[in-house]
Structure 1
Amino acid sequence: MAGKASETLSDIERAAVKQRAKELREQAKAGKNREAGLKQIQEAIDKLDGLDKQISTGLRDLVLDVAPELMPRTFYGFVAFANADGKVVVFHQPASKFKTRYGTISFDDPAHLDDGDVWPVSFAVLAWNADIEAKFRELVKAAVS
C-alpha cells in the first residue's frame, strides 16, 4: 500500500514530505527555542525570490509584532507560526513551492477566525502593501484572540 501512495505523489510533493520530516526532527531537537525557529524561517525566506520573499518577510515581521506569543517555525518549508501547543496557526505557502499562479497565506484550525457556519482560512496573495498588511494584521490579531 505504501508503494502505491509513493507512486501517486509528484516529485514536488515527495520533496515536501521529506522536508517536513526533516523539519520535525529539527524542531524536536530545538524544542521551544525561539531563536532556532527564527533561524529556520530566515533560512526559508533566504531561499525565496521576488514576491514570495516579500510576502514571507512581511508576514514574519507582522506576526512578530502583532502576535509575539506565536513560535516561529517552518511547516513543509513554509514560513509559519505556531501556538504554545506547537500547532501551526498561520503560514505562507509561496507560489514557487508548487509552481502555482499565486501564493497563499493560510490559517489552520487553532486560528480563532470563526464567523458563523463558514469563514475563509486561506487567501491568495498577489502583492504585499500597506492595505494587505493591514488586512492580515487584523486577521492575525483575531486568530490569536
Structure 2
Amino acid sequence: MAEKQSSTKSGFSAEERAAMKERAKELKAAASREEAMQAVVDAIADMEDADRAIAEPLHELIMGGDSGLAAKTWYGMPAYVGADGKAVVFFQAAAKFKARYATIGFNDSAKLDDGDLWPTAFGVTAWNDAVAKRVADLLARAV
C-alpha cells in the first residue's frame, strides 16, 4: 500500500509545497545570477576606454572558459566568485582609484600558493596575448 502524503487545505501535500519552494528558490537564484552578470556588464561599459580595453577581454576569458566562476560586482567593480559566493578574482579600474594601472587581483580562496611568498595582485596597463596567457594560467591554478 502506498504511503499517504499529508495534505492541507490548499490541496498540496507538504512534499509538494517543499518542491515548489525549492523551485522558487532556483528561479530566484537564476534571476539573481542574470542580474549580477548584467551589473558586471554595465560596470565594464561605464569604465573609461583604457580600463574597458582590459576589463572586457578579462571578462570574456573568465566567462568563456570552464572556470566555474560566476560574475558579480564587488565594491562596484567586476569580480568572479566560486560556488561559495566568495570572490576568487577581481578587477580594479585604474581610473576609479586614480592609479596609473588597473589591477587584476586574486583573493585567498584562489589556489595560487607557491612557497612562503607569492603575488596575488597584478598591475595591468594593456591587454595582449601574453597577458591573456598569463591570466589564463593563473585562473587555471586559482580554481
Structure 1 Cα separation of the partners of residues 67 and 141 of structure 2: 14
Task: Call closer, same or farther: CA 1:68–1:38 in 2, change over 3 Å.
Answer: farther
**Structure 1: runs of 5 or more not aligned:** 1-29
Secondary structure of 1:37's counterpart equals helix
CA deviation digits over 1:73-123, x for unaligned, max 9?
001111110011110000110001111111100000110001011110000
Q: Distance in 2 between matches of 1:68 and 1:123?
A: 19
Check the 8 A contact 1:67/1:141 in 2, yes or no.
Answer: no
CA distance in 2, matches of 1:58, 1:91: 13
Q: Between the two proteins, what is the percent identity of the paired residues?
A: 41
Question: How many residues are treated as equivalent by the alignment?
Answer: 115
SS in 2 for 1:112: coil
Code of the residue aligned with 2:112 in structure 1: it is L
**Whose helix fraction is larger, Structure 1's or Structure 2's?**
1
| 1:68 Cα deviation from its structure 2 partner | 4.4
> Structure 1 stretches (4+) deviating beyond 6 angstroms?
none
The residue matched to 1:116 in structure 2 has which SS? coil
Match of 1:83 in 2: 82
User: Residues 2-44 of structure 1: CA distance to partner in whole angstroms, max 9, x if unpaired?
Assistant: xxxxxxxxxxxxxxxxxxxxxxxxxxxx646332221010110
Q: Which amino acid aligns with 1:74?
A: T
Are the aligned partners of 1:112 and 1:143 in contact in 2 as well (CA < 8 Å)? yes
Secondary structure in structure 2 of the residue aligned to 1:113: coil
- TM-score between the two structures when normalised by the length of structure 1: 0.75
CA RMSD of aligned residues (A): 1.3
Name the aligned partner's letter for residue 50 of structure 1.
D
CA distance in 2, matches of 1:103, 1:63: 17
Q: Say whether the 8 Å CA contact 1:94–1:104 is kept in structure 2.
A: yes
TM-score (norm 2): 0.76
